[in-house]
Amino acid sequence: MQALLRRSGIVLVVCLFSLFAAIFLHSREARTGSSPAAQKPASHVDPAEAYRLNTLGVAYMNQQRPADAQKLFEQSLAADPTFEVARVNLGISLLAQQKLEPARTALAAGAEKLPQDPYAWYNLGLVYKDLGDAEKGVAAFTHVTQIADEADPWYFVGYLNSQLQHYDLAIAAFQKALAIFPFHASAEFGIAPLTSAAAMSKRPKSISPNSRK
pLDDT in tens, 179-188: 999 999 999 9
With both helix axes pointing from N to C terminus, report the angle between 84-96 and 118-131 in degrees, rounded to the nearest 10: 30
Q: What is the CATH number of the domain that holds 103?
A: 1.25.40
DSSP three-state, residue 167:
helix
pLDDT at residue 44, as a whole number: 87
pLDDT at residue 15, as a whole number: 35
pLDDT at residue 203, as a whole number: 56
pLDDT at residue 199, as a whole number: 58
Q: What does the DSSP 8-state code read for residue 116?
A: T
How far is residue 160 from each of residues 108, 130, 167, 170, measured CA to CA in Å?
19, 11, 10, 8
- Residue 38 in domain: no
- Residue 132 in domain: no
pLDDT at residue 13, as a whole number: 32
Write out the residue range of the structural domain in which residue 95 sits. 1-19+44-114
Name, in order, each residue with C-beta under 8 angstroms of 148's C-beta and a sequence gap of 6 or more. 118, 122
pLDDT at residue 200, as a whole number: 60
Domain count, the chain: 1
- Residue 169 in domain: no
Rounded CA-CA distance 64/6 in Å is 15
- Residue 168 in domain: no
- pLDDT profile of the chain (213 residues), mean per 10: 44 32 35 41 83 98 98 98 98 98 98 98 98 98 97 98 96 97 95 73 55 48
- Residue 30 in domain: no
Name, in order, each residue with C-beta under 8 angstroms of 135's C-beta and a sequence gap of 6 or more. 160, 164
Rounded CA-CA distance 54/33 in Å is 31
- Residue 56 in domain: yes
Rounded CA-CA distance 160/168 in Å is 12
Q: What does the DSSP 8-state code read for residue 181?
A: -
Q: Is 9 left (phi over 0), alpha (psi -120 to 50) or beta?
A: left
Termini Cα distance of the chain: 53
Nearest to 119 by CA among 131, 111, 127: 111
Give yes or no for a contact between 2 and 122, defined as CB atoms under 8 angstroms apart: no
- Residue 8 in domain: yes
Q: What does the DSSP 8-state code read for residue 98?
A: T
Give yes or no for a contact between 93 and 73, defined as CB atoms under 8 angstroms apart: yes
pTM of the model: 0.76
